Amino acid sequence: MTKEREQRDLFPGALEMMILRTLKRRPLHGYALAQHIKRTSDDLLQIEEGSLYPALQRLLKEELVKAEWGVSSTNRRVRIYRLTKAGAKHLEHEVSRFERMLEGVTRVLAPGES
């Protein structure tokens, strides 16, 4: 179980951020969302698809995304998630926070310079 958890959460909020970023481009349903994240990350991130759903529920609860039932390209009844205004704002905020953090980490990790 501990192994599972390691894979699921890169760091708290990472998955949520990626979901929001993906949805910003266009609304998607769960399966497509998972495929997209996998594809764009070139399978570098081992994400259990199941872990997507608790994250999606959290976002729904905080009203950063909203969902409505629709029909997928494969003709399945699916729930399509769409970014809300609050979600877009949250994403912006989170991304800038993440970038700052990344920059800091990179600087410390960068060899030679000080």
Q: Contact residues for another protein (CB under 8 A)?
A: 1, 4, 30-31, 34, 48-51, 53-54, 56-58, 60-61, 69, 72, 74, 76-79
Residue with Cβ nearer another protein (81 or 83): 81
In one-letter notation, the amino acid at residue 69 is W
Nearest distance, CB of residue 14 and another protein, angstroms: 16
29 in Cβ contact with 70 (< 8 Å): yes
Nearest distance, CB of residue 48 and another protein, angstroms: 4
Q: Decide: helix, strand or coil at residue 23.
A: helix
86 in Cβ contact with 49 (< 8 Å): no
Residue with Cβ nearer another protein (76 or 97): 76
Residue with Cβ nearer another protein (43 or 113): 43
> Cα–Cα distance between 53 and 81 in angstroms, integer?
12
